[in-house]
Structure 1
Amino acid sequence: MQIYKVGGCVRDRLLGRPVKDKDWVVVGSTADEMLAQGFRPVGKDFPVFLHPKTHEEYALARTERKTAPGYHGFEIHASPEVTLEEDLARRDLTINAMAEDDDGNVIDPFDGQTDLHNKTLRHVSNAFVEDPVRVLRMARFAARFGFQVADETKLLIHQMIANGELEHLVAERVWQELEKALLSNQPSLFFICLREVGALKTLFPEIDRLFGVPQHSQWHPEVDAGVHVMLVLDQAARLTDDLAVRFAVVCHDLGKGTTPADILPGHKGHEQRSIALTHALCERLRVPREISSLALKVAEFHTHCHLLFELSSCEVLNVIEGLDAFRKPQRLSQYLLACEADFRGRPGYENADMPEKAAFQACFDAASKVSAAAFVNEGLKGPAIASAMADQRCRIIEQMLKPFRKNTGGTAS
């Protein structure tokens, strides 16, 4: 029995990055021997075991053979005869196909260290085409490390697209990879990578349609809608680690890809298309409800924040109530972060302050102090209490907005 560290832990050590999880491969052993040493089996499909003390994953060296389309269409063969190189050969990218022995020696049969040095993502073998998840993983590594895809790997992915292999991806796996990519330091590179290899149109057509769509001159004349969304996404990554906010900004302008050119941003036609496309995307990927609900609200209301000083006080209250912020104050904070990222996602505005954000927060803070108790004491009941609270909140919001309107020249509409 020979045991090696493999995969990401070897890659990250060579990159000088923190190693979070260690994976191990066991050569020359059997499942019975692993069980006899106290290892616990994990699942039924793969010969993977948990160490009895460290609980790290130890996998028997194995080979894989494609038997059917999709992620589960593989026949696994694990035996003591499978060599370390054969096990490494089944992996996706050369930078993930390295092992390390007990003495720290790196076993690198596919020259992954050279690709690390050259910041290149390259497939190990033509078996790459057999697993469509690998395209998403590759794009995620592009976002995580800022690496470029090798030309020969792009050709393989074009073959996968032509053969319809990406259409076999299940929603849970797509969301799983998207979630990890969104939490990287520069998540835009995930989508840019997919677009460069021709996969964005298949996997995220709503986003692909944004590229090449011109922005309206009074909004973001310097970049098209797709580039703008990528800039906004990276601004969101600078502002917050909140996955819901990062996903929301990806969706906030989806309507621009299908909205006629004569409809301005902020028009109901644009908002309605963004909402419908966001809903369809969330349904297709089975996005968790707390994340999808914020994305829908940001798609509906993000232009209201930018136009805050032109809105009436009651329109501002409608946004706050639409966000359900009086019950969930964190929802307003998430909304404002998404709007700030949208504001900064323009050349020249990357570090600019957004006065509407502070003003909106001040309106909410003041309006949230209104309670039903005073109106109950006046003898009001039922709907009359809600109406009186809304009236008072509108008056308070108007008072809060007055100094901002004076400074910006905005007027209530």
Structure 2
Amino acid sequence: MQIFKVGGVVRDRLLGIPVTDVDRVVVGATTEEMLAQGFRPVGADFPVFLHPKTGEEYALARTERKSGRGYGGFTFHASPDVTLEEDLIRRDLTINAMAEDDQQNLTDPYHGQRDLEARILRHVSPAFAEDPLRVLRVARFAARYASLGFTVAPETLELMRQLSESGELQALTAERSWKEISRALIEDQPQVFIQVLRDCGALKELMPEVDALFGVPQPEVHHPEIDTGLHTLSVLEQSALHKQPLTVRWACLLHDLGKGLTPEEEWPRHIAHEHTGLKLIKAVNERFKAPKDCQELALLVGKYHTHCHRALELKASTLLELLQSFDVYRRPQRFEEFIGACEMDARGRKGLEQRSYPQADYLRGAAQAARVVAVQPLLEKGFKGPELGEALKRERLKALKAYKDKASA
């Protein structure tokens, strides 16, 4: 029995960046031998075990063969005669197909170290094209390592293009797709993930609503970058630079989908795109079964982001409607994330990345003015039920009018 560290732990050690997960492969062992040593089995599809003391994962060396469509369409073979090289060749990228023993002696049959040094993301073998999930994985690695200068090898991008055109991406489950998408969006350069997907034709298959934004013009006076797709990439980039959470980044990706529905004869204006885009945002949310908080914020940002940009011009009654829509009294964090997404939208414009966004603090102040309106005096006056709600609304409106007057003084 021989045990090797494999994949990301080797890759990141060689890159000199912190290692998070440690995967190990066991060569020359049987399931019975692992059980006899106290390892606990966990893998339903192939033999993976947890160490009896550390709880870390150990997988038996295995080969795999394509036997059906999609991510799960594989037959696995694990036995003591499977070599380390045979196990490594089934992996996606050369930089993930290296192994080392406890003395850090490197096994690198597919030149992963060379590709690390050249900053290339390259597939290990033609079997790469058997797993559609790898299209998303490579795009995610491109986003993760873009700051280090990594790019996708042309031949790998071509394989990804073939996979995109084959229809295999449609066989991916929502859960598997979302796992890759969500991980990619919280990388340092999530816009690279979207760009790589577009470069290989996968964006058109997975998110046609986002792909449709490229080539759609906007008024240059407001959007010097003009192209709506490029604007979306810039907004995503800003969301990462400002360390926004996943909910905000997802909303940033989807906020302008309505512009893809604007008839060409109306370009570059996009009247009511906030409302036309809601059905598209809902469709993308449901396609990937995004978490509820991501779904809700994306819809709210899509509907109200222009309200935020015009916050200083809004009437007190419109301000109150906006605050009510977000339930700022019980869910203040969601409104804060909305403001964050809108600020990223404003900053995601060519040459305007550093422009101040006074709307953010203005809306925070408005929310606070509405929140501090006390219920108790109204109860003491005898208001209850629907009448109490209306009285509270009137008092909040009064508070917002006073806030507006003070802000404009």
**1:330 and 2:362 correspond:** no
2:353 aligned partner = 350
1:253 aligned partner = 256
When structure 1 is superposed on structure 2, of 284-293 and 378-387 the one drifting more is 378-387
**1:102 and 2:105 correspond:** no
Distance 2:70 2:61 in 1: 22
1:163 to 151, 161, 166: 166
**1:207 and 2:207 correspond:** no
1:219 aligned partner = 222
Contact residue 120 and residue 150 of structure 1 kept, 8 A: yes
**SS, match of residue 49 in structure 2:** strand
2:383 to 336, 358, 380: 380
Q: Which amino acid aligns with 1:145?
A: Y
Q: Which amino acid aligns with 1:389?
A: L
Q: Which amino acid aligns with 1:23?
A: D
When structure 1 is superposed on structure 2, of 184-193 and 256-265 the one drifting more is 256-265
Counting only pairs closer than 5 Å after superposition, residues 113-262 of structure 1 correspond to structure 2 as: 113-146=113-146, 147-261=150-264, 262=266
Matched-pair identity in %: 52
- Measured after TM superposition, the shift of residue 360 of structure 1 is 0.5
Distance 1:365 1:266 in 2: 32
Distance 1:283 1:265 in 2: 28
Structure 2: state its 5+ residue gaps. none
String of CA shifts for 1:162-186, please: whole Å, max 9, x gaps. Answer: 3211111111111000010011111
1:410 aligned partner = none
Root-mean-square deviation (CA), in Å?
1.5
String of CA shifts for 1:28-61, please: whole Å, max 9, x gaps. Answer: 1111001111111112211111111111111111
When structure 1 is superposed on structure 2, of 366-375 and 21-30 the one drifting more is 366-375
When structure 1 is superposed on structure 2, of 99-108 and 154-163 the one drifting more is 154-163
Aligned residue-pair number: 405
Contact residue 231 and residue 348 of structure 2 kept, 8 A: yes
Distance 2:113 2:98 in 1: 8
1:409 aligned partner = none
Contact residue 175 and residue 285 of structure 1 kept, 8 A: yes
1:270 aligned partner = 273
1:21 aligned partner = 21
Q: Which amino acid aligns with 1:362?
A: G
When structure 1 is superposed on structure 2, of 211-220 and 165-174 the one drifting more is 211-220
Contact residue 164 and residue 200 of structure 2 kept, 8 A: no
Contact residue 24 and residue 58 of structure 1 kept, 8 A: yes
Q: Which amino acid aligns with 2:192?
A: L
Distance 1:167 1:13 in 2: 35
1:58 aligned partner = 58
Contact residue 224 and residue 350 of structure 2 kept, 8 A: no
Distance 2:359 2:275 in 1: 23
Distance 2:120 2:406 in 1: 54
1:283 to 286, 311, 323: 286
Q: TM-score, normalised by structure 2?
A: 0.96
String of CA shifts for 1:78-109, please: whole Å, max 9, x gaps. Answer: 01111100000000010100001122111111
Distance 2:14 2:229 in 1: 35
**SS, match of residue 231 in structure 1:** helix
CA 1:55 to 1:265, structure 2 compared with 1: closer, same or farther past 3 Å?
farther
- Measured after TM superposition, the shift of residue 264 of structure 1 is 7.7
Distance 1:264 1:195 in 2: 23
- Measured after TM superposition, the shift of residue 219 of structure 1 is 2.1
Contact residue 265 and residue 303 of structure 1 kept, 8 A: no
**1:5 and 2:5 correspond:** yes
**SS, match of residue 80 in structure 2:** coil
Contact residue 70 and residue 171 of structure 2 kept, 8 A: yes
Q: Which amino acid aligns with 1:124?
A: V
Distance 2:269 2:306 in 1: 8
- Measured after TM superposition, the shift of residue 260 of structure 1 is 2.8
Distance 1:332 1:157 in 2: 39
String of CA shifts for 1:221-258, please: whole Å, max 9, x gaps. Answer: 32311111111112112223411111111111111111
Distance 2:269 2:408 in 1: 22
**SS, match of residue 325 in structure 1:** coil
Contact residue 217 and residue 267 of structure 2 kept, 8 A: no
Q: Which amino acid aligns with 1:161?
A: S
**SS, match of residue 277 in structure 2:** helix
**1:399 and 2:382 correspond:** no
- Measured after TM superposition, the shift of residue 271 of structure 1 is 1.2
**1:72 and 2:75 correspond:** no
Q: TM-score, normalised by structure 1?
A: 0.95
**SS, match of residue 82 in structure 2:** coil
Contact residue 98 and residue 109 of structure 1 kept, 8 A: yes
Distance 1:264 1:154 in 2: 33
String of CA shifts for 1:254-313, please: whole Å, max 9, x gaps. Answer: 11111235378784x311222111101011111111210111111111110101122111
Distance 1:352 1:41 in 2: 55
**1:309 and 2:308 correspond:** no
CA 1:263 to 1:195, structure 2 compared with 1: closer, same or farther past 3 Å?
closer
